Structure 1
Amino acid sequence: MLQTTPGGRLAEDLARIEEIAARPAATARELAANLNELYAATYELCLDRYELDTLLHSAPEIAQAIFAMRLRLRSQIADWHARGFLTRPGERALRNALRIARYVTDMMGEINIRYAQLGPNEKTLRGFSGRSFNTFVNPKFETGEDIDFRTGDLLLMRGMAHNSAAIARIGDVDSQFSHLAMIYTDANGKHWVVEALIETGSVINPLSETLHHGLGRCIVFRHRDPELAARAAAMIYQTIAKSHQKRNGHIWYDFSMELEGNKELFCSKLVREAFRLGSENKVALPTFMTRFDMRNRDFVDRIGVTARETFAPADIEMEPDFDVVAEWQDYRVTSRLRLQDLLMDQLFHWMETHDYRFEEDFPIRLIGWMGQMSGQLSTRAKQLIADVVPTVPPNMTRSAIKAVAMLHRTAEPLLDELQALERRRIDRTGRPLHPREVYDFLETKRESSNGAIGYLATAR
């Protein structure tokens, strides 16, 4: 049991969460009930109930304990799956429990650094640099040194842009990640990242460049069969390298999110293709798919998604044959990422529940036309989309360009308001906003908006 001083109530609440997480289940229904209870108990951890000195003193210990709890939950996936316990309700409940526990870890990290944030000209930290509170290592892979990346390792990442938050939230289960990539280590020991990016398609970049490239959070996953992982990495590296040598052979980003075919690849489809090649078609990721079964498909249709189910980046967290090696986050930006997530939750909730849809105006139509025709966005378009799609790929439709611009223009002012609200909350109480407060604020905004928020509007 985690001990804290002097706030016994915090210790009791955390012990209750640990007890629920350790509770055995005899049926699929019982497992889903336990995990739903775990989610609810973690969600109800309101930091206002605890002494600030206790939180400041105990933050690193709490964060480490919650990471350990998440590892224990993940370690049971293979057994639960083999016993048929991870039905759709159980799967969803486990994803939700892992997600809400990660938010608690983030808040502890933010408290520990006294809510420091990036300065105007500062960049996020290099991922997994040094051994600090930013990095949690699975004891199974602990060496006391920096992370030992291996060929075939996977990187599950989250960037800073609104489209990253949207990618993490558009399926039937919310997540905190938007990109998946594979590491390949060449004969000289240099690490490369093989990945599919919206702007440039399938590419190979140095690992050091990826870890310096504005990450907010990242997890390293490792397959339990190192020979399979090594073959998969080598074969996808060779496939993408050869595609760059052929005229008209470049593999562009697959906006459809369909799993069949390999002429175009999205990020996690590239990883799927790697393990398909490395296993001679014996391994087909993912075990648990993300579904696009929403009633209102306005946004996903606009960006070109035709799939009804797919391999979303965060689905790798549910894979029975992969271990978490380490997890890293920059606590100066996790608050922004969390607010982005909660904001996207509400935007997509409004689309589904209140039938909100995007409505274009002339500037947005102009952005779509200029972006598709020129391949480079205009200055005004860059202001609307910020750094989301600075270079428009040739296969990105006008509809997708406009959808990304409208999402950014709708979300950015709301995020600014949420960040200001949280800063006032921290100045007043020393604690961040609870997700409930974020949802309440956004719902109040919607109710007073007369049916239109940014580019989202109800039918009139």
Structure 2
Amino acid sequence: MLAPVASASFEKDIEHIEILAATPVTSADLLARNLQFIYERAAKARFDDYEVAEIAKHAQSLMYRLFDLRVGLRNHLQHYEMLGLMTPDVTQGFRDVFRVLRYVSDMLGEITTGHPRVGEGGYLLRGFTGADNNTLVNYPFYRSGTAQHFRSGDVILVRGTAHNSAAIARIGDVDSQFSHIGIVYIDPAGDHWMVESLIEDGAVINPLAKALDHNIVRAVLYRNRDADLAARAAKCIFDYVAASRAKGGKRILYDFSMRTDDTRNLFCSKLVRLAYEQGSFGMFKLPTYPTKIARKNRDFLDRVGVATDLTFAPADIDMESGFDLVAEWQDYRETAGIRLQDFTMDKLFEWMERFNYRFDETAAIKLVSVLGRFASHFSEGAKDVLSSVFPRVPINMPRKTVAVVAMLHKTAEPIYHELMKLNQDAVADTGVPLHGLDVMAALERIREREGNRIGYLVRRGR
């Protein structure tokens, strides 16, 4: 997966990029070129250039080599920052390499797991569980080889199963594989909690086990190197959110603006930012490398309610040198699905920009969004009963946002099912998942076939 077509050895190709990743550099241009080389080798080459049976036989060691490669690159971030090498091109290079190597590792897991998809009768695993190399562990942190030991202040980055999760992961100029983030708090009794901000509920405190059971496919555990700071951050935000949920407290709603300068409402990343800001007495502010939101076609963003060009996206934590990557988990039965969601969102947003596609709100969508807004005022029990009929939305979500989320889902869903069929056929024929380049080509064929209307997206002008 990491070499030219003529390559005969997957392991040798990994070795080549390991050497390149470990090569000392003294200029930002050279570092950016090295990262681009690694990315291109991983993105353009194909599993079927190799002996798939041999790859499957050594999958665990290969997955750990890819994981250790990413950990090693992250460990160099602080050094490169000290040298002043973290230019925008270098920062983008790191993000691209982290993303593509995750995809390669996912595909290794998919080839070797051999279990049915969740939709075929299985069930989603709890985060950081599973016996099929689901959890990759940074062993300096867990000499025992397990990833069950959390600390107050740990940050958990996750990806859910919904198309909306893919949209959140792709909402900025940086493509990512994550849609949500939360912070762990361990109380004096030893109980583990996740403090987080959810679209439906705003800022909440959930048992950690419940949060890790919540329809996630990917989760990464990060740990701040300053244990005292981390503990203070977790305690501060736990107390802050607990007070808002107590009788007489004022609920903290989800913030759709994505702005980081106003803490009345909180989106998930801003909650983590606030935690560490409070825990450091205002001295530590996330993120170091914020996500830019500067898409030319802002129609979708305006409908969602985004009101900034710079934000703290969940995946920005991946670039924080003050946090160590402790463990990474994925459910390989579902990683192909979220990968196809990622590529679908890439293309939908690209089509909005390049071809001026806009969401066209029909009468049916307007009715759904109005009823969804009305349902937001119901009791929680009523919302749950009506969830199969009306969108379950927070009280502060505008009607236009309900509408565009519904249109996004209904546009992406049939495309996703078509791609899943193609991927299943590829696995049946070749034993390996559909390559990203083939997915992108299939998406372009869908656009050409559908013409000026793709689901609820309508092309405006020429």
TM-score category of the 2 structures, normalised to the smaller one: over 0.9
Partners of 2:44 and 2:437 within 8 A in 1? no
Partners of 1:371 and 1:378 within 8 A in 2? no
For the residues of structure 2 that align with 1:121 and 1:49, how far apart are their CA atoms? 33
Tell me: CA distance 1:391–1:359, structure 2 relative to 1, closer, same or farther (3 Å): same
1:161 aligns with 2:162: yes
Could you give the per-residue CA deviations for residues 83-141 of structure 1, whole angstroms, max 9, x where no partner exists? Answer: 22111111011100000000000000011112631144432111112665101111211
Tell me: CA distance 1:364–1:21, structure 2 relative to 1, closer, same or farther (3 Å): same
The equivalent of 1:74 in structure 2 is: 74
**Residue 384 of structure 1: how far off its partner (Å):** 8.5
The equivalent of 1:126 in structure 2 is: 126
For the residues of structure 1 that align with 2:383 and 2:355, how far apart are their CA atoms? 33
Amino acid in structure 2 at the alignment position of 1:276: E
Gaps of 5+ in 2: none
For the residues of structure 2 that align with 1:23 and 1:169, how far apart are their CA atoms? 31
Amino acid in structure 1 at the alignment position of 2:331: D
The equivalent of 2:94 in structure 1 is: 94
Could you give the per-residue CA deviations for residues 301-353 of structure 1, whole angstroms, max 9, x where no partner exists? Answer: 11100011000000000001000110000101001011111111111111121
For the residues of structure 1 that align with 2:198 and 2:311, how far apart are their CA atoms? 17
The equivalent of 1:47 in structure 2 is: 47
Tell me: CA distance 1:346–1:455, structure 2 relative to 1, closer, same or farther (3 Å): same
Partners of 1:196 and 1:266 within 8 A in 2? yes
The equivalent of 2:395 in structure 1 is: 394
* SS of residue paired to 1:325: strand
* SS of residue paired to 1:448: helix
Partners of 1:286 and 1:316 within 8 A in 2? yes
1:21-36 paired onto structure 2 within 5 Å? 21-36=21-36
Residue range with higher mean Cα deviation, 70-79 or 134-143 = 134-143
Residue range with higher mean Cα deviation, 369-378 or 443-452 = 369-378
Instruction: Give the TM-score, by structure 2 length.
Output: 0.94
The equivalent of 2:281 in structure 1 is: 280
Tell me: CA distance 1:119–1:442, structure 2 relative to 1, closer, same or farther (3 Å): closer
* SS of residue paired to 2:447: helix
Partners of 2:128 and 2:329 within 8 A in 1? yes
1:112-191 paired onto structure 2 within 5 Å? 112-114=112-114, 116-129=116-129, 132-144=132-144, 145-191=146-192
Amino acid in structure 2 at the alignment position of 1:410: T
Partners of 2:136 and 2:328 within 8 A in 1? yes
For the residues of structure 1 that align with 2:240 and 2:372, how far apart are their CA atoms? 30
Partners of 1:410 and 1:453 within 8 A in 2? yes
1:404-443 paired onto structure 2 within 5 Å? 404-443=405-444
The equivalent of 2:355 in structure 1 is: 354
Partners of 1:99 and 1:175 within 8 A in 2? yes
1:65 aligns with 2:58: no
Aligned length: 451
Partners of 2:135 and 2:147 within 8 A in 1? no
**Residue 215 of structure 1: how far off its partner (Å):** 1.3
Amino acid in structure 2 at the alignment position of 1:349: E
Partners of 1:127 and 1:215 within 8 A in 2? yes
* SS of residue paired to 2:9: helix
Amino acid in structure 2 at the alignment position of 1:399: K
For the residues of structure 2 that align with 1:132 and 1:420, how far apart are their CA atoms? 24
Partners of 1:127 and 1:218 within 8 A in 2? yes
The equivalent of 1:290 in structure 2 is: 291
The equivalent of 1:445 in structure 2 is: 446
Partners of 2:292 and 2:311 within 8 A in 1? yes
1:342 aligns with 2:343: yes
The equivalent of 1:312 in structure 2 is: 313
For the residues of structure 1 that align with 2:130 and 2:81, how far apart are their CA atoms? 36
Could you give the per-residue CA deviations for residues 149-185 of structure 1, whole angstroms, max 9, x where no partner exists? Answer: 0111001000100010000011011000000000000
**Residue 261 of structure 1: how far off its partner (Å):** 1.6
* SS of residue paired to 1:314: helix
* SS of residue paired to 2:437: helix
* SS of residue paired to 2:124: coil
Residue range with higher mean Cα deviation, 142-151 or 188-197 = 142-151
* SS of residue paired to 1:357: strand
For the residues of structure 1 that align with 2:105 and 2:121, how far apart are their CA atoms? 26
1:329 aligns with 2:330: yes
For the residues of structure 2 that align with 1:456 and 1:58, how far apart are their CA atoms? 44
* SS of residue paired to 1:367: helix
1:207-226 paired onto structure 2 within 5 Å? 207-226=208-227
The equivalent of 1:267 in structure 2 is: 268
For the residues of structure 1 that align with 2:211 and 2:318, how far apart are their CA atoms? 20
**Residue 361 of structure 1: how far off its partner (Å):** 0.5
* SS of residue paired to 1:218: strand
The equivalent of 2:207 in structure 1 is: 206
Amino acid in structure 1 at the alignment position of 2:84: G
**Residue 360 of structure 1: how far off its partner (Å):** 0.8
Gaps of 5+ in 1: none
Instruction: Give the TM-score, by structure 1 length.
Output: 0.94
* SS of residue paired to 2:215: coil
Partners of 1:452 and 1:458 within 8 A in 2? yes
Residue range with higher mean Cα deviation, 46-55 or 274-283 = 46-55
**Residue 22 of structure 1: how far off its partner (Å):** 2.1
**Residue 80 of structure 1: how far off its partner (Å):** 1.1
For the residues of structure 1 that align with 2:39 and 2:24, how far apart are their CA atoms? 16
For the residues of structure 2 that align with 1:23 and 1:34, how far apart are their CA atoms? 9
For the residues of structure 2 that align with 1:457 and 1:17, how far apart are their CA atoms? 43
1:363-378 paired onto structure 2 within 5 Å? 363-375=364-376
Partners of 1:153 and 1:183 within 8 A in 2? yes
The equivalent of 1:19 in structure 2 is: 19
CA RMSD of aligned residues (A): 2.0
**Residue 13 of structure 1: how far off its partner (Å):** 2.3
Amino acid in structure 1 at the alignment position of 2:275: A
